[in-house]
Amino acid sequence: MVGKGRGAVGQRELRIIHGRQDAPIPPPLTAADLPIGPLAGLELPLWRSPSGKAEHASAQCPHLSRGTPRQTRTIVLPTSGTLADLPAIPRCRSCPDPLPAYHQQATRLLYDAEELAKTATTLRNGYHLAAYGELLQAAQNDSLDTHQVREIDRLLQPALQRLRHERQRLVRQHRSAYSNDKARRDLKTITAAALLKADVDRRQPGRLRAELLDLSTSLVAEPPPDARTPIGDRELLELSDAWIAPISERYSNSAGLAELDTAKERLREGLSRLLTTRDPRAGRRDPPPDVDRLTTLLHVAWVGMLAGMVAEGSTQHVVVAVDPRMVLPLPPWAPTLLLAQYPSATRNVKGQPYRIAIVPKLFADLVTHWDRVALHVIAESTWPDDAAVCHAVLQQVPARAFVGDEPWWQRLRQGQLQRLLNKARGTSPRRLGD
């Protein structure tokens, strides 16, 4: 069982399971897969300035603005074949692309294919929460983004479809590793750190920060023997802020909770700076041995505090309405992963996915620390709630809720969502078949 994997053994099990599912991997999209299309037989005159030697692919290049540019030669593109057959076209960094839009669309496709291949490698090499979250987000955007399909050249459609299928395949291949208990716990820990961070960022630091300070102060009540002065409250707060940052930073959750190591390292650096005294004769800095002891003491205590927040916020689940246009103070991919880990239903209106989901209360707590409201708690969740109930509620919401700029639940009458939920609970297939 993937979900039971823990630590090194768990990682190894995951890789074995993935290895089995890997074969056969479709080859990544390359320029040789894309027909030369409207570029066939095009003649491209090259230019240089009267004084310069460099060739430019467009007479409109800003580097040619002095004097009348002179034409040097003409490149003739092949009349058939693929984009892999294109000759090198000399272009400076400022040259506008002299080729038709087809070329830019193809370049974008190849770039996306390269990025997807990198993601595939990352996921094959082991657990990587952010890489999977970003993949999931991109796959979801695929199904919502009909614009790209309409706009792209007909000749590139098969390649676009291939890219999107590969994305879906990767999502399916790794789904179990990112919806199990470990992945859920990691996402909750990131959320708990974000809660602490939100508390830190407020002008008036809140309850969580006060608790953190109390805990830290009691731990360092004894001044380290080597230090001239005990560590003050202000320094402790700065240390804890530096420690929280890598866990809740939007873009740095690169490997699930590997950043707990980064956090510990930042704490150690901070303590070293604080406790190291400068020898006036030698000017040499010696980190005192107490740095290690205090690093371990504080790190363990703060990890414990995060775990406590996760546990406390997980005992109760809530039914929430989610507006895709609002953001949570989490990494951008995290809400997509969250909604994939718990029961939810989606209603797409004009390319926007409006949702109802059942999530641990911890995620709803995040909203109370944030000005822009991304989640609305409809009710506490009870056992018959599942994706079918979420779906039934969403279907009953009048369409007018989804037309304004404000969060969609604000366009409904007071208590309307709760009434729809009660009704859906009563007619849930699970309840009826019970």
Q: Which residues of this protein are in contact with Zn ion, per CB under 5 A?
A: 56, 61, 63, 92, 94-95
Q: Which secondary structure element, helix H or strand E, spans residue 200, and what is its range? A: helix 181-201
Q: In this structure, what token pair is assigned to residue 142?
A: 């695929």
Contacts of 183 (CB under 8 A, 6+ apart): 129, 177, 256, 337, 341
List the one residue out of 260, 244, 252, 246 whose CA is nearest residue 196: 244
CB 60 → Zn ion: shortest distance, Å?
9
Give the integer Cα–Cα distance in Å for 145 and 4: 36
CB 48 → Zn ion: shortest distance, Å?
9
Comparing CB distances to Zn ion, the nearer of 61 and 194 is 61
Q: Are the C-beta atoms of residues 126 and 11 closer than 8 Å to each other?
A: yes
CB 75 → Zn ion: shortest distance, Å?
15
CB 55 → Zn ion: shortest distance, Å?
8
Give the integer Cα–Cα distance in Å for 225 and 217: 16
Interhelix angle 181-201/157-179, rounded to 10 degrees, is: 90
Comparing CB distances to Zn ion, the nearer of 90 and 205 is 90
CB 1 → Zn ion: shortest distance, Å?
59
CB 94 → Zn ion: shortest distance, Å?
5
The sign of the dihedral angle between the CA atoms of 272, 275, 279, 280 is positive
Composition of the chain by helix, strand, coil, percent to 5: 55, 10, 30
DSSP string, 94-124: TPPP-S-HHHHHHHHHHHHHHHHHHHHHHHH
CB 7 → Zn ion: shortest distance, Å?
55
Q: 221: helix, coil or strand?
A: coil
Comparing CB distances to Zn ion, the nearer of 95 and 135 is 95
CB 157 → Zn ion: shortest distance, Å?
32
Comparing CB distances to Zn ion, the nearer of 59 and 388 is 59
Comparing CB distances to Zn ion, the nearer of 91 and 431 is 91
Comparing CB distances to Zn ion, the nearer of 58 and 140 is 58
Comparing CB distances to Zn ion, the nearer of 52 and 126 is 52
Comparing CB distances to Zn ion, the nearer of 57 and 337 is 57
Residues facing 254 on adjacent strands: 256
CA distances from 8 to 15, 122, 257, 400, 411 (A): 11, 17, 14, 52, 50
